[in-house]
Amino acid sequence: MLPLLHPALPLLLGATLTFRILQRGLRRLPLPAHVRTDPLRTWRWHNLLVSFTHSIVSGIWALLCLWQTPEMLVDIETAWSLSGYLLVCFSAGYFIHDTVDIVLSRQARASWEYLVHHVMAMGAFFSGIFWKSFVGGGVLTLLVEVSNIFLTMRMMMKINNAQDLLLYQVNKYVNLVMYFLFRLAPQAYLTNFFLQYAGQRTLGTFLLAVLLMLDMMILIYFSRLLRSDFCPDHVPSQQHKDKFLTE
């Protein structure tokens, strides 16, 4: 049983409020001309600015955690560090903030895939936060934020109709490499590790189920990314309108 007031709760609340305050501050920044003419694009732009900030901080933080505590790469279940624990709390706070932002902005229907992802991610992170198990796994999972830096840049340029820029063309190749190195590879490594818990009635089995669902989502997103950036002629015309929300 968890105590009524777990020591991690103030950390989660503080992280969530930090991202809420950050969003309010970023809203004061000037908007690109093409973005400010559309309320949906305006909301998505601000949402992505917060996501971009989280990706930079969490991606670098995750790399530093693994450099400082390399045993997390092997002892995924019991390896622990204060820095890694705070990182998991920090990112869980972001997912809580983003979930609330999507719901309050009435974008739940358009962004339902993000909500599903966030719920699964929070469920996995809470195992490390409240039971202090698999903190290493949480840190490894957050290597994906290195890839998200370039993925978010891509999405922001798409929202701004800037696909013809040289930066977009360069970024799409960098994004592909980062997707392999920091999204597909860590996910495959973690899935292989958690397969040992298959059939057991343990927390590891729950995390395996979460990972398998995330694996499926990641492969779907990867196929969309390849079609959109490298085979645009194969993307159905009806998908071009608002697919910047999910691609």
Q: Does residue 26 register a pLDDT over 90?
A: yes
- Averaged pLDDT score across all residues of the chain: 91
pLDDT in tens, 97-108: 999 999 999 999
**What is the rounded distance in angstroms from the CA atom of residue 194 to the CA atom of residue 77?**
10
Mean pLDDT for the stretch of residues 118-140: 93
Q: How confident is the model at residue 235 (pLDDT cuts 50, 70, 90)?
A: low
Q: How confident is the model at residue 241 (pLDDT cuts 50, 70, 90)?
A: very low
> How is 59-99 classified by DSSP, letter by letter?
HHHHHHHHHH-GGGGT-TTT---HHHHHHHHHHHHHHHHHH
**What is the rounded distance in angstroms from the CA atom of residue 175 to the CA atom of residue 173?**
5
Q: Against a cut of 0.75, is the pTM above it?
A: yes
pLDDT given for residue 243 in this prediction: 44
Mean pLDDT for the stretch of residues 185-197: 96
Residues 6+ apart with CB under 8 A from 204: 77, 134, 194, 196, 197
Q: Look up residue 77 and give its two tokens.
A: 């279940």
pLDDT in tens, 143-162: 999 999 999 999 999 999 99
pLDDT given for residue 129 in this prediction: 93
| Helix spans in the chain (H) | 8-26, 33-36, 39-68, 82-104, 112-131, 135-141, 144-159, 166-179, 185-194, 203-230
**What is the rounded distance in angstroms from the CA atom of residue 140 to the CA atom of residue 143?**
5
pLDDT given for residue 10 in this prediction: 94
Q: How confident is the model at residue 111 (pLDDT cuts 50, 70, 90)?
A: very high
**Domain spans, the chain:** 35-245
**What is the rounded distance in angstroms from the CA atom of residue 112 to the CA atom of residue 120?**
13
Of 156, 152, 140, whose CA–CA distance to 91 is shortest? Answer: 140
Mean pLDDT for the stretch of residues 71-84: 95
Residues 6+ apart with CB under 8 A from 114: 98, 102
